[in-house]
Amino acid sequence: MRALSLAFVLVGLLGASCGHEAGPGCGPHTGRVAEVIDGDTLVLEGGERIRYVLADTPESTAGRHDCFGREALAFNRSLVEGRQVTLVDAEACEDRFGRRLAYVAVDGHDVSALLVERGFACVLHVPPAGDSRRAELEALELQARRARRGLWGACSPVPCS
């Protein structure tokens, strides 16, 4: 866990030195979570929708309830709902749905990494967003698969693979 926290801080600093930091082009560095939409999307106070980079959880909205979607939603809520979060923008500011793409941290822990490591999410890489951390999260996914954690042990077929 400490290694993930340190890695998140280092990536944030590296991103800032490369011009990928949150700023006027992407949005604020911090915010309070007003609502958790599903396992990989939240809304900040003020209404901005944030989509986690590299984490894809099973669906749990719009009438769809994929295997392990409700569990991913509940875990995400337990991590971030009502809490202050830190945002580090990815290589792209928005996805095709207009949601801001960001690595989100709560209490120094990277939420995408936690979701993947604990088996609540698969890695979803849509270049260029996530290029800098793809290998790191894919290694966490492989560990979760091998240990059959979360959706890897509960779902057949796995809804996001």
pLDDT digits (tens, 9 = 90+) for 89-107: 888 999 999 999 999 999 9
pTM score, whole prediction: 0.82
Across 42-70, average pLDDT: 92
How far apart CA 148 and CA 154 sit, in angstroms, is 8
Instruction: Using a pLDDT cut of 70, give the percent of the chain over it.
Output: 84
Amino acid 24: pLDDT: 53
Across 152-160, average pLDDT: 90
Lowest model confidence (mean pLDDT) among 21-25, 58-62, 148-152: 21-25
From the CB of residue 96, how many other CB atoms can be counted at a distance below 10 Å?
A: 6
17 pLDDT band, cuts 50/70/90, is very low
The architecture CATH gives domain 2-147: Beta Barrel (2.40)
Q: Specify the higher pLDDT residue, 161 or 30.
A: 30
Residue 93 near residue 101, CB atoms below 8 Å = yes
10 three-state secondary structure? helix
